[in-house]
Chains A and B, each alone.
Chain A
């Protein structure tokens, strides 16, 4: 810190320190704290209190309707539906004194029930306020179906990671160690240019391949294995493989570059020395190149896994509702469909926990230390 002050002077250093502090508080610490707090509060959607709140809603609505009818007379139409727009309809039956008394009686009954429920709600709230508010029930409450979805999502992310690794290692090797400077530039550009395109565009592009009238089916039709006329085409979106393919394609760059970067720092003499000592190609890879490239492979695997496991857009766009949801989609639903942020937070933290475990697992497998990853 003192060094920073000496290099940049106090105004600049203070400014940037303040910016960093602001960023940390507003965008990292506070939201995370908020979410953790939420995830530890269990909202029981089936308990008495929730029921009372729901019942009160209904009762207030009923009471409002009856009071409206008392003032304006009951609405009526041929179908018997209550419609405030048609209250002035001349075809309606007369609203007699008897009816009015009956309505007033009903309103009073409703008010009584509301009163008793309000008392009960008050009591229940007081009891709840005295209880300890936090529990891990949100984390343990996951249903079997959701747990299965989570398992499948993690398994898919693992498969994506393995496919990406298998595809990227040879590419990185070719670019880093096997080609001259000109070739390297060409290969590098070829790798890089597709990734200048927006991620969503790249995903949507795959629809032209998988669509009912897309490239794959067209090829099948041309080959005579399918027919557009009789709708004998394959609905590719139904196959989980489509998500795999697109995930690999979308996140492969995050595997290529770390591997390429570490591999490029390998002294070519090491490879020549190994060859000179009689080693065959696979042994050179196993004993010389891979040990050197380990940190890159670890970083690539971690990034690809986390992006794949946390991917929302790819399963959302590609499956089009024809496949079971991914865990990320479940989280989205919890937040925005069932408005249960507590459970949504718990779900996302569960996924985060699995990703962190994966990081430590990868580091253990590759024998890589955190310091090496940071490079």
Chain B
């Protein structure tokens, strides 16, 4: 099996008057584990359905390898889709499920059985061949779905949040397993998720999508460390957001005049003096009480200290502004709780961007709730 590249040129999707996906250019490299991350309703599933052929784009073209996909139906594309609810065939045994794609291609039963067995070994399901899907555990069903999709030797495997129904431990285990299978097979994986943990841990590259637009395509590290839009910065990971007005931009460092005084951070390209801006700084980039070497210092009052296990979560207040800081256990031990405190951060750890749309935290919360419900099911 060899993966193929997937190239989208000005691809858009509309449902009536509603634009689900605005014209989008995207290149997914051959053999890459690529994730599309975004909140529900951002158009990521629509994107996947267009690539798989269940939905025709309103405009633009999709190319897989050398072949244009216009007019090619879902059952003729070199793609295989893993559904959110897996959609295993309940009346077929595990091996029949896996071999269904081969059956549809007219492969003889002996050959089907043999090929299914190879995949059963690949996904570590030996001994479960004759069981029906509802006799399997969640993780096993997951593996059947992967094997079933791989059986047709797709060049591109499309995954629509397939892990969302699993509990946390199993989900983490399956992440590693999916990554492993992807490396072994070399198939291009396009993975849709609203769970940033999944996207960041598994992917070679991640596209962050919002309201029908891809805002940033980058490696996991760069998505986290170098977000290019306020939405990405607020959607991926936690960030403290400090608002103000740009007073100077020099050598890629912007100075922001805020309620908490002048703050300095890396400027994204195209930032001009005088515009409203936001400074983003990660909770783990903040240092409490360290007054010597910081580019930025803010006086804060402690509100709450939450022990999170691996680190300590400090909720602080600076005037109206709430600030969250993560301290390692060692650093936390040196903090004098009673004194009024300062937090500091290096200019290089902060990013300054022109004010723009932030991730809808209300929606994120709703997403998390849904996720929990699904896990409970």
Number of A-B contacts (CB under 8 A): 63
With A272-B54, A272-B81 as contacts: A280 and B104 at CB distance below 8 Å = yes
Q: How far is the CB of A274 from chain B (nearest CB, A)?
A: 7
Q: Is the CB of A287 within 8 A of B89?
A: yes
- Complex Cα distance, B82 from A272, in Å, reads 10
Residues of A within 8 A of B104 (CB): 274, 277-280, 283
B222 to chain A, nearest CB (A): 33
Q: Does A245 contact B (CB under 8 A)?
A: no
The answer for the CA separation of A288 and B91 in the assembled complex, in Å, is: 8
Say whether A275 faces chain B, with CB atoms less than 8 Å apart: yes
Report Cα–Cα, A270/B91, bound state, in Å.
Answer: 11
Determine whether A276 belongs to the interface, using a CB cutoff of 8 Å to chain B: yes
Contact between chains at B91 and A273 (CB < 8 Å): no
Report how far A292 CA is from B83 CA in the complex, Å: 19
A283–B92 Cα distance when bound, in Å, is 14
Please give me the residue from chain A that is nearest to B145 by CB atom.
Answer: A273
Interface code B50-74, partner A: CB below 8 Å = 1, 0 otherwise?
A: 0011100000000000000000001
Indicate if A291 sits at the interface (CB-CB under 8 A): yes
**Bitwise interface map of A from 323 to 352 toward B, beta carbon under 8 Å scored 1, else 0:** 000000000000000000000000000000
Q: Is A111 interfacial (CB-CB < 8 Å)?
A: no
Do A291 and B91 touch across chains, with their CB atoms under 8 A apart? yes
Q: Given the complex, which residues of A lie within 8 Å of B76, measured CB to CB?
A: 278
Tell me, yes or no, whether B75 is within 8 Å of chain A by CB.
Answer: yes
Bound CA span A275–B149, Å: 12
B148 within 8 A of A: yes
B105 at interface by CB-CB < 8 Å: yes
A269 to B74, CA, bound (A): 13
B152 at the interface (CB under 8 A from A): yes
Q: How many residues of A contact B (CB 8 A)?
A: 17
| Binary flags per residue of B88-115, CB closer than 8 Å to A gives 1, else 0 | 0111100000001101110000000000
Residue of A nearest to B101 (CB): A277
In the complex, the answer to whether B75 meets A270 with C-beta atoms within 8 Å is no
Looking at the assembled complex, report how far the CB atom of A258 sits from the nearest CB atom of chain B, in whole angstroms.
18
Indicate if B87 sits at the interface (CB-CB under 8 A).
yes
Binary per-residue interface labels of chain A (18-58) against chain B in the complex, 1 for a CB within 8 Å, 0 otherwise:
00000000000000000000000000000000000000000
Q: Is B74 in contact with A270, judged by CB distance below 8 angstroms?
A: no
Cβ of B80 within 8 Å of any chain A Cβ, yes or no, is yes
Instruction: Tell which of A273, A278, A279 touches B83, judged by Cβ atoms closer than 8 Å.
Output: A273
CA distance A291 to B91 in the complex (A): 7
Q: How far is the CB of B232 from chain A (nearest CB, A)?
A: 31
> Is A120 on the interface with B (CB-CB < 8 A)?
no
A275–B91 touching, CB < 8 Å: no
Q: Is A112 an interface residue (CB 8 A)?
A: no
Nearest-Cβ distance from residue B31 to partner chain A, whole angstroms: 21
| Complex Cα–Cα for A272 and B80 (A) | 11
Does B85 sit within 8 A of A, measured CB to CB?
yes
Complex: how many Å from CA A279 to CA B90? 17
Q: Does A109 contact B (CB under 8 A)?
A: no
**Which residues of A are found within 8 Å of B103, using beta-carbon distances?**
279, 283, 287
Complex alpha-carbon distance, A288 and B89, angstroms: 7
Minimal beta-carbon separation of A267 from chain B (angstroms): 6
By a CB distance below 8 angstroms, the chain B residues around A270 are: 87, 89
How many angstroms from the CA of A292 to the CA of B90 in the assembled complex?
8
Q: Tell me if A278 and B75 are in contact (CB < 8 A).
A: yes
Contact, CB under 8 Å: B80 / A276: yes
- How far apart are the CA atoms of A72 and B92 in the complex, in Å? 93
Mark A259-298 against chain B: 1 for CB-CB distance below 8 A, else 0: 0000000010110111111111001000110011000000
Contact B87 A273 (CB under 8 A): yes
CB-defined contacts of A267 to chain B, threshold 8 Å: 85, 87
> Which residues of the partner chain B approach A273 to less than 8 Å between Cβ atoms?
81, 83, 87, 89
Q: Kindly identify, within residues 144 to 179 of chain A, every residue whose CB is under 8 Å from any CB belonging to chain B.
A: none
**Minimum C-beta distance from A272 to chain B (A):** 6
Q: Nearest Cβ distance between residue B160 and chain A, in whole angstroms?
A: 9
**B16 smallest CB distance to A (angstroms):** 12
Best-buried of A272, A276, A280, A288 by chain B (most CB within 10 Å)? A276
What B residues does A276 contact at CB under 8 A? 52-54, 74-75, 79-81
Contacts of B105 in A (CB 8 A): 278
B100 lies within 8 A of A277 (CB): yes
Complex Cα–Cα for A267 and B74 (A): 18
**Assuming A267-B87, A283-B104, is B148 touching A277 (CB within 8 A)?**
yes
Nearest B residue to A268 via CB reads B87
The CA-CA distance from A279 to B87 in the complex, in Å, is 15
Across the interface, B85 reaches (CB within 8 A) one of A269, A274, A277, A287, namely A269
Compute how far the CA of A287 lies from the CA of B101 in the bound complex, rounded to whole angstroms: 12
User: A274–B80 Cα gap in the complex (Å)?
Assistant: 10
Q: Are A275 and B74 in contact (CB under 8 A)?
A: yes
Chain A residues with Cβ below 8 Å from B85 are 267, 269
B32 CB to closest chain A CB (Å) equals 21
- Closest B residue to A277 by beta carbon equals B101
Inter-chain contact A279/B89, CB cutoff 8 Å: no
B100 contact from A269, A272, A279, A292, Cβ within 8 A: A279
Contacts of A291 in B (CB 8 A): 89, 91
Within the assembled complex, what's the spacing in Å between the Cα atoms of A222 and B147? Answer: 65
Inter-subunit contact B75/A275 (CB<8 Å): yes
B74 touches A272 (CB 8 A): yes
State how many angstroms separate the Cβ of B188 from the closest Cβ of chain A.
16
**Contacting pair A272 B101 (CB below 8 A):** no
Among A273, A287, A292, max chain B CB count under 10 A is at A273
Q: How far is the CB of B108 from chain A (nearest CB, A)?
A: 16
B1 to chain A, nearest CB (A): 15
Chain A minimum-CB-distance residue to B49: A272
Residues of A close to B83: CB separation below 8 A = 269, 272-273
Contacts of B80 in A (CB 8 A): 276-277
A283 to B81, CA, bound (A): 18
- Across the interface, A287 reaches (CB within 8 A) one of B54, B84, B100, namely B100
Q: Which residue of B lies closest to A281 (CB)?
A: B75
> Of B90, B100, B151, which one neighbours A274 at CB under 8 angstroms?
B100
Tell me the bound Cα distance from A283 to B100 in angstroms: 10
Q: Which residues of B contact A272 (CB under 8 A)?
A: 54, 74, 81, 83, 87
Query: When the two chains form their complex, are residues B91 and A278 in contact, meaning their CB atoms are under 8 A apart?
Result: no
B53: chain A residues within 8 A (beta carbon): 276
6 cross-chain CB contacts under 8 A: A269-B85, A278-B152, A279-B101, A279-B104, A287-B100, A287-B103
Q: Which 9 A-B pairs have the closest CB atoms?
A: A269-B87, A277-B101, A279-B104, A291-B91, A273-B87, A278-B104, A278-B75, A269-B83, A276-B81
A positions within 8 Å CB-CB of B: 267, 269-270, 272-280, 283, 287-288, 291-292
